Amino acid sequence: MQALSESVRNTGQKISFVPTMGYFHEGHLSLMREGRSRGDVLAISIYVNPTQFGPNEDFEKYPRDFERDKALAHGVGVDVIFYPEDREMYPEHYQTYVNVENVTQNLCGISRPGHFRGVTTICAKLFNIVKPHFAIFGKKDFQQLVAVKRMVLDLNMDLEVIGMPIVREADGLAMSSRNVYLKVDERESALSLSRSLKVAKQMYDRGERDVTAILGLVRKYIEGYPHTSIDYAKICGTTTLEEIGRIEDEAVLALAVRINNTRLIDNYVFGMDLDV
């Protein structure tokens, strides 16, 4: 992969890159289409990265289907799929990690200790292997995008990180590979996330700026659905990801909600469109 990327770069062509864990849905494909339009060569990676999963998380049962992914990637014009094995990425004696300190503390940093260290480490490695000019990420994983952007700035990595809108199902549920875990009666409860974002947007659009007022309604709304338990519902500044009391500058409402055993995340940046 490195040799291929080096030869592409030597011809002056631009490389777009979409890192993924596979099991593609329309959200992944939208990033690939963006990559296709920006670069001459479109590379993706499919790798379920063990270092970003906690000991009691779903690493083993995370859905995988390489043949299906390959066909979907082909359909949107992907040139190269980098599909490494664990022993290639983390060989014996592996001991180097990248840690972005502050923006990874709050939100998923609390409920998933070590998760972002795994994410930024694998992204740094993939960037060194694929040598992209553009790396395309989804805003669905908002904190991940902020952390990766921070890492690229702080470590002077020579690439542009691009964030793309959240792609949703027709009923508003944010697309996720983990949605396959949802049982029929849980599917309706999963809509509590996107619908509560809409409630918050409506409050904001009517002029509400008080965080306690907005979160109070959001929580009540989610808790009104069966099977739900809120991991967090917070409103934070979009660059610091620290909680705020009033919405004055750009702010994000970030949600993590368990629907029985399935943990879903979603978010809304105030003032933006919401396709729900």
Active site residues: 28
Q: Give the one residue of 5, 28, 234, 236 binding ligand AMP; rule: CB under 6 A.
A: 28
Taking the least distance from each CB to ligand AMP, the nearer of 146 and 175 is 175
Which segment (20-28, 93-101, 125-133, 255-263) binds ligand AMP by CB under 6 A?
A: 20-28
Taking the least distance from each CB to ligand AMP, the nearer of 20 and 192 is 20
Residues 6+ away with beta carbon under 8 Å from 207: none
How many other β-carbons are positioned within 10 Å of the β-carbon of residue 248?
A: 9
Q: Per-residue DSSP letters for 116-171?
A: HHHHHHHHHHHHHHH--SEEEEEGGGHHHHHHHHHHHHHTT-SSEEEEEPPPB-TT
In whole angstroms, how close is the CB of 163 to ligand AMP at the nearest point?
8
Binders of ligand AMP in range 169-208 (CB under 6 A): 174-177
Which segment (25-33, 78-86, 108-116, 187-195) binds ligand AMP by CB under 6 A?
A: 25-33
Q: Binding marks (x or -) toward ligand AMP, 122..151, rule CB under 6 A?
A: ---------------xx-xx----------
Which residues on neighbouring strands pair with residue 81, listed in sequence order?
44
The answer to whether the CB of 192 falls within 8 A of the CB of 228 is yes
The answer to whether the CB of 79 falls within 8 A of the CB of 126 is no
Q: Does residue 17 belong to the site contacting ligand AMP (CB under 6 A)?
A: no
The answer to whether the CB of 172 falls within 8 A of the CB of 194 is yes
Taking the least distance from each CB to ligand AMP, the nearer of 5 and 194 is 194
Taking the least distance from each CB to ligand AMP, the nearer of 116 and 137 is 137
Q: Does residue 118 belong to the site contacting ligand AMP (CB under 6 A)?
A: no
Give the CB-side neighbour count of residue 261, counting CA atoms within 13 A.
Answer: 7
Tokens of 96: 């180097």
Cα–Cα distance between 175 and 236 in angstroms, integer?
23
Judged by the rule CB under 6 A, the positions of this chain that interact with ligand AMP are: 20-21, 27-28, 30-31, 137-138, 140-141, 164, 166-167, 174-177
